Each structure stands twice: as C-alpha cells, then as structure tokens.
Structure 1
C-alpha cells in the first residue's frame, strides 16, 4: 500500500495516533527506514516551499519601457531617424534609455537590499530513522518521519504530536496568537481551527518549553505554511494610485498630442504647403508637446523618495510603493510584533500589601518598580521591598526554566515568554538569574503541565533574611507559580505586612479579574518554608502554601506606536488592528495605542464611526453583502484567520479605500499581497511575508510607517509640482508650431531647439523639484481622494495661463526682433531664451502650489540654485558658442534682447503670483 499524506484525505488532528501511524505506514518508535525515506522523497519532493516567481532581467528591463509616453517617444524617434534627423532621433532615444536605466538600477538595488535581510541558515531537524536518532536537513523530511523537538527548536514540518512533556509552542508567526500554546495528544473534531489544534505542531512555529515527538503529516507546499503561500500567489497585485493616475493622465495627454499633430499636418496640407515639410513640423509639434522629462522625473523623484525611506529604515521593493502610502486611507496593522514588541512584559505585581506598577518593556532588564503613590521603590536593598513583593518576585524568577541572554545590545529569552517576563521583572528588582541561583539553589522540580497548571520547585534557602514564620529548622523553601485558581488551591494563607494571614480568596480573585479585564495575562505566585526532611510532591502541596502575589503581563505596545497612530489619525488615515490574538488582549492593546478610547470607540476622524471589536467567528457568520459595512464600522478584528484577513482587505477596497497592510507573520502574507501596499517587518518577519510585501521595515517599527506616509505625500507633491511646471512649456511649444502652420509663418522655434529646451530644463531645472523639502502641515491634510485626477481644475487653469503667456510672449518677441532688423536665427534665439527664462521664473513659483515663493524661502532648496546656474551656463553656450550655433541654428543676441526677455519673464511671474494669491 502506498502511503498518502493525511492532509490529502483526512484531517490529522481528527485522527488517533495509531490511525496516523497506519495511514503513513510508519513506526512511532523506530521511524522510517532509509529506503522508505528515499521513495517518499522522490514522490513528495523536498520539504521546501516553491520559490517565489522572480522576474527575469530582460523582463525587468522591458517593463521600464511600458508607458504610453515612452511609446510615443519611441515612435517619434523612429520617424525622425527615418527622416534622417539623426540628432533629434539620438536625443529622443537617449531620453528613453536614461529613464529605463534609472528605473532598472533602483529596482535592482531594492532587491539586493531585501536579499540582505534574508537568513541564509538552513534549518536542521532531529529525526528517528531505523530506530536511531539523527540530525538531517529539514528539507529532506518526508511524510511519516518521526521528529524530535525540544525548547528552542523551530518546527520543521507539520507534525501530529504523539509524545509530549510539558510541550508549548509559540505560533504567533502562523496564527497571530502571542501567548505560547500548550500542546497535548488528544483527538480533536475535524472542524477545529488551526489556532486551537493542540495536538498539532506546524511548520515555522517555535517550541518554547518542554519536549516532544511528532510524525510528519505534511511537507513543503502541503503544509499550512504552503497553503498560505498559495493564497499569496492567488492574491491580485494591484496598481498603485500613482501608476493608475499617471497611466490615465498619459493616455489623455498622448491622445491630445497625436490629435494636435494630426490637425497640424491636415492644416498644412490644406494650405498647400509641402507635405514632407508639414509632416516634419507635425512630428516637431508632437516631440515638443510630449513632456520627455516626465517619465524620468517620475522615476527619479520616486528613487529619491526611496533613498530617503532607506535612511529612515525602510526598503522599498517597487518604486511606486513609496508614494502609495501618501494616498492611503486605511492602514490594517497586525498586532503581535508590529504594534507590540512581541516580548511579554510584567506590567503589574499585585500583593496583599498593594499594587506595584513596573516600567520598561520587552526583555531588556531595565525598568522601575512604582508603589501605589507612583514613587519609585528602592531596589538596591531587596530586603526593603516588603516580604510579599520580594517573595513574589523570587518565586517568579526561581521557579522558572527560561534563560535570559544579550547579544549586540538586543535582549532575548530562550523558553516560555511568560517565564521570560517573570525572569526580567525579578532582574529589574535586583534578583538577576545569577543572584537567584546563589540565594536559592534549586533542589527539585514539579514541572508545569496542562493538567496541573502550575509549576513548583524546591530550593535550599541561602537568604540572609529568613522566610516569614519559618520554623527554626527550616532551611529550604518551596516556590510555585501558575494559573490563579490552581495556585489558590495550594494556599491556606497569604503574605501581608510581613506575616502570614488567612487567605482571602475572594479578594485575590477580584484583583485577578480586574487585571484580566485589562487584557493582562495573570499568574499567581506562592511560597512555603520547609525543612530538608519535608515531603515535596503533588500530594504534599495543596493547602500548605502561602500566596505571595499576582504578576500581570502583556506583550507591550512599541514605544512609538501610540504617537505613530495619533499622527496617522491627524492625517485622516484610519488604523485598524487585525490579529489572531484573543479579543480581550487585542482590545487592551488597541486602547493603549489610541485605536480605541476609554468607551471602546475609535478616535473621531472627521465623523464618528461606531467602534467595534469583531472576532473571526463574528465575521464568518456575516453574509457576504453585509461584510463591507461591518468592516467599515469596526476598528479591531481578533482571532482572524489568514483567509479572513484577505477578505477584510478586499472588503475595505470594495468601499474605495486605498489599503496598506502591515505584518510579520506567515498569516499576514496573503493580505500583504492583496493590499495596495504591503509592509513587512525585516527583523522578525517571515520570508513569506517579506516576499509578499512592497516595503520592508528594517527596524520592525510601526512608527516608520508614519514616516513613509509623510515621505509618500512629499513625493506626490513634488511630482505634481513637476507636472504643473513642465506642461506649460510643452503646450506652449506645440501651440507656437501650430500657429506658425496655420498662419503660414516661419517656425519661431526649430525642432532641435525644442529638444534642447525640453531636455536641458527638465534635467537642470525640473528635476530639482524632486529635492524639494516637504511642506509644513503635510501630515495635517486628509488623504488624497484616489478618484481625484492628477491635476485639479485650479492647476489645469494655471497651466493654461502660463502656456498662454509663453505663446503670446515668444510670438511677440519673435515678431518684434524680425521687425527691428534681426535675422531669423537671432529672432529664434530670442524666443528660445524667453521660453527658458519664463520656465526658470515659473520654477520658483512651483516650489509651492499654494504658498508664495517668498514665504517658503528662495534658497531653502539649494539644488534649485545649482540647477538655475547650470541652465544659465547652458543658455550662454547655445547662444554664443559657434559650434552650438551651427548644430541648433542659433545666433548671438545683444544686451537689449536680454532686457526684453527679462521684462517679459518678470511680467509672467507677476501674473502667476497674482493668480496664486487670488486662488489662495
């Protein structure tokens, strides 16, 4: 009989151990034989996920040319080459190639930066084959393999657990659940969701405590990890708002330019002009009207934004992604590891003597203990802590199997995060692990189990301060910690004011309920002085212990999360929490970071929404047509599966939102891919999440997203400024040529001169706007409406105004020079310089589309000055150098002409300033 993976026919969590063994034709003690392994490896393949589909170099190069304006430029270049206008053709093709190179280089740099974040270490697995324990590469595991696990191991495949000893697994990367899950081997209903399958260990999760063995039931693409990988591949990659708007704008512009060129050609023919000359003029009009610098400006402006983001600890994989956050209306954030530290931290220690608040977060053993009145407690002398607090901290630190380590300034724990939290709070009070081991050497242990729900340890008491009411012969102490009700069952008294008094069970439960209601995980601690001859075991503890206190902990919010959320709200961006964690914990964190107020409502964002916490069960029960409305009203989504995360993003998008999704776990990947922009965590994020994301945060800090929003808005502002600046020149050039054809007059500007104007000003002047600093108040604006056109009506009117000034001014100056004795080359040189001078004056106005150039400071962008100086040198060269006179058909002009050019440019600048002030 040929074995089949249980995932292909039956749910392994719904089968008894012996049924899984039979189905997979394996042995739960000896494992598989080498022959079986070889056969199954050939049949099922290696235990690896299919690699993400990469984009080949040729395709990456070709897609740099996928732009309507680029198509027109390529056609214009081909036509001018066919007409033997080789200079014009070379310039056009040069523009196209430079733009493609900038985009390709930037994408390559982003991919290289992302590759540097990936861990290159291979996972190893301990297996039993032919009855012998071996260590093999996890990629060589097959269904039926018997895998051994212990604390600190990464689960290498999907396993049906068969033998367990105090086994707990951190599944936050898969389910979003921040608290480690206790595992057992009991058979479960087949309908139980992944997060509640306690007899399974899934690929990619981490063993935090205990040891166990499991049979491989799925590998590679058949694992739960593989299923999410398929969801990622199925999710649609959406165009960003910028790419959508630029494509729409480019199509309209392309149609308009081609239509204008066709009209020009038709008019010339109707007037009886030479067909070849008229066709050349029409091509010149098209080339002149096309903003050749726009594709390069878009690419370079985005690349500059990417560079700024890299300095703010974010790697952008696709150029448009840096702008997308600027138009985001909703940020869907994962909780664990994104808004929180993903490190359990004791926040409160309650004792019968009162409550103590603890500062600091994460596993770094730095913080302060604050008394009821908010004053710091002196921890330099532990004897002054109070007996109950002292013994609660000692019980948490000594009755503990976790270990604390520091590497390169980063603190971490090996073991259960809740034990790590108790270890750290003890260290904050001076009870470091080394100090505890010296004061209370451990002699024996009753390990934690899911049935027992507590852990107890026996220690030799080397404390200089005797335990409260300890018999004179007592030289040992029993310490315990665990679930509140189970520890209370062990206790007959409580430690208060340094003495033992009768246990007030009701008071302790009220305190525990109050702490749990705040979303905290609560554990109780207890102690009992004993002698070396006293019995130590499960049967000897009930009714003998003394309660010392309660320790309440939670995965704390990141330090900057609340400020970042507040900044997003100020910017009109709604933040939603989507997590696999429990509703109470999610609600508590949501309140701390400002997603919910004291009444459970979200902050007001222009109008009040009904703040609601919805669970995955709530969402699953909703009819499909009601889901978008429910999602629109809710703020926190708890116990959500990967499939539901994807549906939530789709529901928000159906309401017209531009959605950004943040996350680090495997379970976040499909939604990261579906969102307009996916933001993955670089440090703690899984490789699946990083591959699905558009942006990777190298510091895992939600606050960096606020910086991305600000940077994105600045990028879009600068692009809009460039378009508003460049279009009047292109329109003006086109209209000047059209007017010359209509009136049968000589062209005021030659095609080569048009190319000179467009390319030199785009590089020396226009691209300097990409370096423009972000304007004040940029984060106080509401998000940009995704349906709003790239250019508003006011900007279109300004573009037409400046175009009219250019056409009128250049035509008047051209005719004036001819009428006063200038030859054709001199008149054209005057018109050429007028175009450039008006552009330079107008550039300073475009540094802000609403505010005066004087108010933002003429020299606050030094690159504008550098560019203007370079352009001035170029204009002197094309005007006075004989070689350039020959190539471009120009001629030297006198000082009087320059004065007229300056006067017309000054008038144009004044008219624009008046228009801006009136509209403001």
Structure 2
C-alpha cells in the first residue's frame, strides 16, 4: 500500500487521510500493520549517509606487500615439502588479517554511525502507546507528536496545533517561521509548499508550540529528498592525524623494505649455510611482522574504539558523550574553556523538595507525622503551580512543559497525600499567570473556603517577603515586623548556603475575579512559609571540576538568572570563591569591551546573559587564543554552537538495542503530548543535529551531564595518546626484532626463527594494538601532555627514541646466551632460540606497559588496564602451553629451556623495565 507517491495531502480532510492510511488519530497504526507498510515504503532515510567509505578502506587492508610475499613463500614451501610449519604460518596470517579486517570494519561502522546516532528522534503513537524512536523507523500513517525544538522527521498532515510555528527554510528557502493551522482548508491543486499551512515537511524545525500529525510521506518521497534539500551527514575522512599517520606509514614501510634487503644480503654473505630460502623467509617474516602498511588501518581502529567507548551505552540510551563529528577530535582535545549550564548538567534534572519552613519551624519533607503543620505551606506551593483540576487539563493541550521546580512541588504534595481531587474542590482554579512581564511571581487565582477570591503566589524569598505584611503562625495571621522579616530572611539564607533553592509562598485575599490587576493582587500578602528544593549535584562533580582546574581547563557555569542558592552551589563545587567570580547581566552591560575582555579570566559563573552576550564572550575568548567548548540549550543555542570551537548539546541518543522498538515515553516520563514530564534533553533535537558532541543529562549514577562533557575531552586526548603509543610501540618492537637478527648474524646464532618472528609481530603486536584501542582513559588523562601530532610530524626524533630502546632490548636478549655459557649453563641452538623468543615477548609486554603508563609502573595506586592484563594472561598461557605440551611448542620452534633459561628471560625483562623507568624519571626532571 504505497500511497505516498505523487499525491497532495493539504487538500484532504483528516478523515480521508485516516481512511487512506488505515490509521487512527487517537491510537495510531497497529504493530501488525507496520511490517507490511515498511516493506512497501522502505526506511525513512531522509538524510543522506555517506556510502562507500568503509568499503573503500576495506580494500586497502590486504595490500601489505610483505605479508602477501610471505604468504606466497609459505605456499611454495608447502608445495615443495620444504620443512617449515606451513599450515601454522598460513593460519597465523589468515587469523591476523581476519582480526585486523574485522576490527577495522567495526571501527569504520562506528565512525560512520556516529552521525546516524544523532539523527532526529520521533515521538510516535502506535497501538495507543507513545514511544520515542529513531526517525528512520517511521512509516506512512504513523501518528507523531511535534514540539518546540523538534526536527520534523517526515512529511505529515497536521490535525492538531497549539501555537505551532515551523521554520521550513531548509525546504522552501523561506527563513521565517510559519504558524501552522490544523483547520486550514484549500482544495485547489498546485498550492506552493510555503502556503500549505496544515502540512509539515521533513527537515523543518519546530520553533514554538506543539502539535500532532499523520505521516504522509517518508524517505525518498519526502519533499526535502525529492528537491535535493536534505543535507549529507558528516564524514570522518579528514582527520589530520590520520593523514599524518599515513605519511609516516609510507616512510616506515620503505625503511622496512630497505632494512630487510640489507639483512637478506648480509645473511647470504655471513651465513650462506642457512640456504637462500631460509634467509629469504626470515627477511620477509621481518617485513610482515612490521605491519607497516596497516598503520593507517590501526589508526582508524583506535579512533573508532575510543569514540565508541565514550558513548557508554546503557539499556535503551547512550549515557556518555556521542562524538558525532569525528573531525572535531583535534579541537576537542585542546579545549581550554568549558561553558556549561547548571540545570541538568552540573545538577541532575530531577529536583527534590527536601525541607519545609512553616510557623517558624523547619521540617523534613519526609516527616509525614507533621503533615497538619505542613499542610498550608505545601498546599500553597502546589496551588501556585496551577497544575491540578482544569489547570492540569489545560497543560495537556498546551505547549508549556512542567518545570523541575513544579514537579518537585507536586511530588512533595503527593508524598504527603495532599495532591488529589480534593484540591480542585477546595481551591478551584480561576486563572493562572506565570512569573514574568507584569507578574512578579507565579500566581494562581482561586477561591477559599469562604468563597472569597484569593491569590496564591510563589517566588524567591526576598521578593515574596518584601510583598508581605503578614505571616501565618500556628493558624493565626500575625503582622510582620522588621525583626520577623529579618528572621525569615535569615532562615532562607541559611538554607541557600546549604545549596538549597528556596521557594517562598504567600497568599492574599482579593476583590478581583481575574488577574488583570496583577500588581494590586501581589501586594499586602500573608507569608505562608518556605519550601527548600534540593537540586541534587551530579555525583563527583566537585572532583571533576578540580581535575579540570589541574589540567588548565576553565569551567564556567551559566544560569538563567541570579540566585543566592546558585552562588553557594558554585562555591560548594569550587567554581568560585565569592561574588567577584560572577558575571551578571548588569555587570556585563556596565563594562566596556576592553575591560570585559581583560576581566573574563576572573569570571567562572555567568547569570542572566542572553545568547547574544554569550556569543560575544566566546568571540572575545577565541580572539585571545582560548579554545572554547560550549553546551547550548533552547532554540537560540544554534548561534552559540557555531561560535564555539566545539558545540555540545544535551539530548537523547537511542542505542542500537532500542533502534527498532523505540523507548516507551510515558514510562520514562518524557515530554510529549501530555507535556507533564521533565527532561529538557528531549526538547533539543535541532541542537543535537547541528552539534559536534551530544551528551545525556546528568543522572544519579554519575553518568551524563558534566561528567560526559569531561569524558569527551578525556577520550579525545586518550585517542591521540594511543595513536602515538601505537607508533612508538610498533617501531620499537620491530626495530628490536631487526637488531636481534643482525646481532644473531654477527654472533653466528639463530635468535628468532621465521615462525617466532611472525608470532611476535602478527600476533602479539596486533594484540597490543587492540588492547590499547579498547583501554579506557586513565584517571589523569586530562593532564597528559598533548604532543601526539607534534611527535608524529617529527618522525626522525620518534624513530631515534624507538631505536635506542630497541637496541638496548636486543642487546639484553643477545647477552643471555653468552652470559649463561660463561656461568657454566650453555644453551644449544633450539633452546637459545626459545629463550630469545620468550625474552622478546616479555620485552614487548614491558614496552607496551611502559608506554601505556605515563608515570612509573611502581607508583602507589598505579593501575593497568584490563585489556593489558588480558593480553599478559594470554601470553603467559601461550608460554605455559608451549612448555607443558612439547608437541604444541614444537609448532612454534619452542623446546624446554630449564631454570637457567628462565633466569635469562627474567634478567632481560628486568633490565628493559629498569631502562624505561629511568627514562621516565629523567624526562620528568627535565620537564621541571
């Protein structure tokens, strides 16, 4: 039933559309209908995903020339019965490249999929159940819900709209927002899209209001796709570091081929008895073990694994940082300033009413035995929200979303058994007016038990107390003196110093039956009490701020308006020491630009600044050389994201586990049709789409929020460190093998056989790279020196360092045989080869561990990554199997080595470790 092609829908009634798509406005499609419709209509792919990127790189993986030559040589050896373990070598080559290809493809999918994760979500009704799902799962006939901040996920016919404004500039070219009208009727054909007021088109942005609609076209049948207006998702192909790595790879590859040629010629001259095939096989094994042609592929694996690790998937959503624009990694790791909002990022989105001050006493909210003492204050608080009775019904049909403050008041009343139908009976809502404009407070006009009109007001403590002439104490109304006012204000300040947000509630009888004379209604009030709301901090937030300071990253908190509680909160987590660290809207206006620019480093809390003023600050910071990361919210946030070096947005990104089925919105209390749930992150789909990094809101487990912002920095720096470690490690271990072979030629011994060279390189080195790619950032990753690009662009210095460590390691291994012989424990050829092989692997593990840890391995509290420990266990298990089962060991040219051999291996390992530790110590002192 593909009815979406070549039809207009603005001229159809909703009843006609319901019949055409066999859907219902109130319930949507049924789950039984979806598969058939999806087969006919296809996926809702509105935004073009770059194709062929992963396929192009897959073809590059098996082009390592040395490995192909080695494979050819092994096959020849098998055909002509030359005595080598041909099957094992072929197996190792196949497994090595299968693992490399598999991991590389996975990494490519991760990188290509990052932007797909940030695709707009859709709030859709199916089987009468409201769910949040990936927009690509929509089909014609779906009933969807639209609200401010959404990107319209498909072409749709609107059947309900409340102040719904949509910017269709992406499709029509008209940049102003258009008011939509569900009752619009026009029956003539050929109406321009910009005049189809009952339609919404895919890729458009909802700028205000909310609405409901039936999807009429998806995927390639949407207007945006047909007109070529849908933008292509970001790619990851222009990472500068990978371009540098590719150049380094080419130089290293040529160096390896030259080195192998020299070793082959030298072997033929110095040890002709080994035979030309054995010499050739040794040289080619060395070249293959270097994996020099695969450095770029390994780089993609490290980048992909790092970005994937930053997401931190949990159940149906990602709770970490979605670095969807991989090309911003270079900027991300260099950020020196983070500008973030308080709500939902530093504090958790869910606020809790914790204490109530009534009749000169402070009560805990959990003290239900005192409910009679708290009743008046708590009821006044919930009445002031206007969210009950007819107010609750009005909210369901409006674009207003309940705030965290209102939710806390409602939950408090519920916990005390006061939020029920009796409120509406005793205090019916006449009218409600939010704070702002002529209204100083949140005000609800109601009627008391004597049928008098009464205003119930809620606001900050100073403002409410200034408007009060009376107060209630134990049911009696008393006149408020100056001492009383000071006492009440002292209680409020004490609560605010404990990081509570203090809400004051007051009431007043009025002769007015509406709120047109709001000024008169909000004077001569009776103070009811305080409700102290705790905005729970994200766990560990103070430690995270401290780590940022230690790393030289300035953290700046923004709030919509100034409050004492926010000041004390900023002080409690170490952002500011006093009010001098706050930049208010008034202070911003009073400072000349030059003075503002000079004083910006002093301010770590911005209050009440408009997006335009924040944008000016970001511009000044960047002009002074700062690299700014900014998390924006609201529809005006797009400007700020473009001004910053890296733009963050807080929103929901659905994990693969939930992509098909979606998330049950009502069970998660997300803001949809009812609009009675918190969680601003669902309100910023447009920002999510244009941002560079998407994070989730802070939760009680310490995920999301500011932790996710800092996690993005940590992973970006760790990715670059891992790229540098990869190059250092591979060059060091390969040079160590080369020096071993050269030394063995000079000494007339066999240090490593071709099989052992291949295992050392293609197996252990690949394992080390994968272990590095999957390792999590260390605790001190923020303060690690950021010099990966600089060092990779100076290959000679990097090569020289690796050469020194490799030469020392090779000399330690080569010295084992002569030293044991002098001590009366000579080793025969096979035993010496086995000892050298085990010593080589031990040195590889030590080199990897030393490079992975910036500090001494013996520093108290030093922890190695799980991936490194697994790699070490795998090597130990391999060694044990080789020695316990001689038949298995013989495959790899391993024979029993005895106690002297183990002593030699341990000695070489200890010396290698000592040299690495000494180097770290000297480097640390040199930096000081």
TM-score range, shorter chain: 0.5 to 0.7
CA deviations 1:358-414 (Å, max 9, x no partner) are xxx53x5x4213589995478865675698x67853651568568789xxxxxx999
1:396 aligns with 2:384: yes
CA deviations 1:507-556 (Å, max 9, x no partner) are 99xx9xx99xx9999999653278xxxx9457899967853469999999
CA distance in 1, matches of 2:149, 2:619: 42
Deviation at 1:803, TM superposition (A): 1.4
1:648 aligns with 2:643: yes
Per the alignment, residue 355 of structure 1 pairs with: none
CA distance in 1, matches of 2:433, 2:371: 28
SS where residue 853 of structure 1 aligns? coil
1:702 aligns with 2:697: no
1:368 aligns with 2:355: yes
Per the alignment, residue 327 of structure 1 pairs with: 333
Per the alignment, residue 786 of structure 2 pairs with: 784
8 Å CA contact 1:525–1:547 kept in 2: the answer is yes
CA distance in 1, matches of 2:309, 2:200: 42
Deviation at 1:731, TM superposition (A): 0.7
Per the alignment, residue 252 of structure 2 pairs with: 253
CA distance in 1, matches of 2:683, 2:154: 19
CA deviations 1:761-797 (Å, max 9, x no partner) are 4478887778888766555x26625644369999876
Deviation at 1:802, TM superposition (A): 3.3
Per the alignment, residue 122 of structure 1 pairs with: 124
8 Å CA contact 1:834–1:905 kept in 2: the answer is yes
1:661 aligns with 2:653: no
1:445 aligns with 2:430: yes
Pairing partner for 2:833 from 820, 828, 842: 828
SS where residue 806 of structure 2 aligns? helix
CA deviations 1:103-161 (Å, max 9, x no partner) are 545777997999899977625999xxxxxxxxxx997699xx9x999999999999999
Deviation at 1:609, TM superposition (A): 2.5
Per the alignment, residue 98 of structure 2 pairs with: 97
Deviation at 1:220, TM superposition (A): 1.5
CA distance in 2, matches of 1:325, 1:620: 18
Deviation at 1:804, TM superposition (A): 1.3
8 Å CA contact 1:340–1:555 kept in 2: the answer is no
Deviation at 1:235, TM superposition (A): 5.4
Deviation at 1:876, TM superposition (A): 6.1
Alpha carbons of structure 1 residues 236 and 440: separation in structure 2 relative to 1, 3 Å: same
1:528 aligns with 2:520: no
CA distance in 2, matches of 1:391, 1:711: 48
Deviation at 1:598, TM superposition (A): 2.5
Deviation at 1:730, TM superposition (A): 1.5
CA deviations 1:557-601 (Å, max 9, x no partner) are 6621853444433333344679xx968799969958776662346
Deviation at 1:95, TM superposition (A): 0.8
8 Å CA contact 1:395–1:527 kept in 2: the answer is no
Deviation at 1:854, TM superposition (A): 7.1
8 Å CA contact 1:399–1:479 kept in 2: the answer is no
CA distance in 2, matches of 1:685, 1:96: 45
CA deviations 1:330-361 (Å, max 9, x no partner) are 57566486427796xxxxxxxxxxxxxxxxx5
Per the alignment, residue 756 of structure 1 pairs with: 759
CA distance in 2, matches of 1:912, 1:301: 27
8 Å CA contact 1:840–1:868 kept in 2: the answer is yes
Deviation at 1:97, TM superposition (A): 0.9
Per the alignment, residue 858 of structure 2 pairs with: 853
CA distance in 2, matches of 1:153, 1:771: 35
Per the alignment, residue 7 of structure 1 pairs with: none
SS where residue 508 of structure 2 aligns? strand
SS where residue 419 of structure 2 aligns? helix
What is the TM-score of this pair, normalised by structure 1?
0.60
Deviation at 1:733, TM superposition (A): 1.2
Alpha carbons of structure 1 residues 879 and 815: separation in structure 2 relative to 1, 3 Å: farther
Alpha carbons of structure 1 residues 246 and 446: separation in structure 2 relative to 1, 3 Å: same
Write out aligned runs for 1:38-53 (5 A).
50-53=45-48
8 Å CA contact 1:288–1:734 kept in 2: the answer is no
Deviation at 1:94, TM superposition (A): 2.0
Alpha carbons of structure 1 residues 77 and 630: separation in structure 2 relative to 1, 3 Å: same
Per the alignment, residue 310 of structure 1 pairs with: 312
Pairing partner for 1:560 from 538, 563, 578: 538
8 Å CA contact 2:649–2:693 kept in 1: the answer is no
Greater mean deviation of Cα atoms: 99-108 or 88-97: 99-108
CA distance in 1, matches of 2:139, 2:814: 74
Pairing partner for 2:455 from 466, 474, 479: 479
CA distance in 1, matches of 2:615, 2:720: 38
8 Å CA contact 1:300–1:770 kept in 2: the answer is yes
CA distance in 1, matches of 2:905, 2:887: 24
Deviation at 1:426, TM superposition (A): 6.6
Deviation at 1:755, TM superposition (A): 0.9
CA deviations 1:855-888 (Å, max 9, x no partner) are 557x977887775565355446657866557654
Per the alignment, residue 197 of structure 2 pairs with: 215
Deviation at 1:753, TM superposition (A): 2.0
SS where residue 730 of structure 1 aligns? helix
Greater mean deviation of Cα atoms: 822-831 or 681-690: 681-690
Deviation at 1:286, TM superposition (A): 1.3
8 Å CA contact 2:340–2:632 kept in 1: the answer is no
Per the alignment, residue 806 of structure 1 pairs with: 809
SS where residue 99 of structure 2 aligns? helix
Alpha carbons of structure 1 residues 426 and 162: separation in structure 2 relative to 1, 3 Å: closer
SS where residue 455 of structure 2 aligns? strand
Structure 2 gap segments, 5+ residues each? 1-7, 22-40, 79-85, 129-136, 183-195, 208-222, 494-498, 584-598, 654-678
Per the alignment, residue 289 of structure 2 pairs with: 288
What is the TM-score of this pair, normalised by structure 2?
0.59
Deviation at 1:96, TM superposition (A): 1.6
Alpha carbons of structure 1 residues 751 and 502: separation in structure 2 relative to 1, 3 Å: closer
Deviation at 1:754, TM superposition (A): 0.5
Per the alignment, residue 730 of structure 1 pairs with: 734
Alpha carbons of structure 1 residues 156 and 70: separation in structure 2 relative to 1, 3 Å: closer
CA distance in 2, matches of 1:374, 1:460: 25
Per the alignment, residue 419 of structure 2 pairs with: 434
8 Å CA contact 1:298–1:719 kept in 2: the answer is no
Per the alignment, residue 591 of structure 2 pairs with: none
- Number of aligned positions between the proteins: 760
Deviation at 1:78, TM superposition (A): 5.4
Alpha carbons of structure 1 residues 906 and 431: separation in structure 2 relative to 1, 3 Å: closer
Write out aligned runs for 1:181-200 (5 A).
none
8 Å CA contact 1:306–1:315 kept in 2: the answer is no
CA distance in 1, matches of 2:555, 2:480: 49
1:459 aligns with 2:443: no
CA distance in 1, matches of 2:400, 2:252: 61
Alpha carbons of structure 1 residues 249 and 822: separation in structure 2 relative to 1, 3 Å: same
Structure 1 gap segments, 5+ residues each? 1-23, 40-45, 127-136, 175-189, 203-213, 344-360, 406-411, 462-473, 653-658, 667-680
CA distance in 1, matches of 2:73, 2:422: 85
SS where residue 215 of structure 1 aligns? coil
CA distance in 1, matches of 2:480, 2:146: 44
CA distance in 2, matches of 1:153, 1:661: 17
SS where residue 871 of structure 1 aligns? helix
8 Å CA contact 2:383–2:444 kept in 1: the answer is no
Per the alignment, residue 684 of structure 1 pairs with: 682
Alpha carbons of structure 1 residues 880 and 568: separation in structure 2 relative to 1, 3 Å: closer
Alpha carbons of structure 1 residues 240 and 401: separation in structure 2 relative to 1, 3 Å: farther
SS where residue 560 of structure 1 aligns? coil
8 Å CA contact 2:835–2:901 kept in 1: the answer is yes
Write out aligned runs for 1:448-597 (5 A).
457-459=445-447, 461=449, 474-479=450-455, 494-496=469-471, 499=477, 526-528=507-509, 536=513, 547-548=525-526, 559-560=537-538, 562-563=541-542, 564-575=544-555
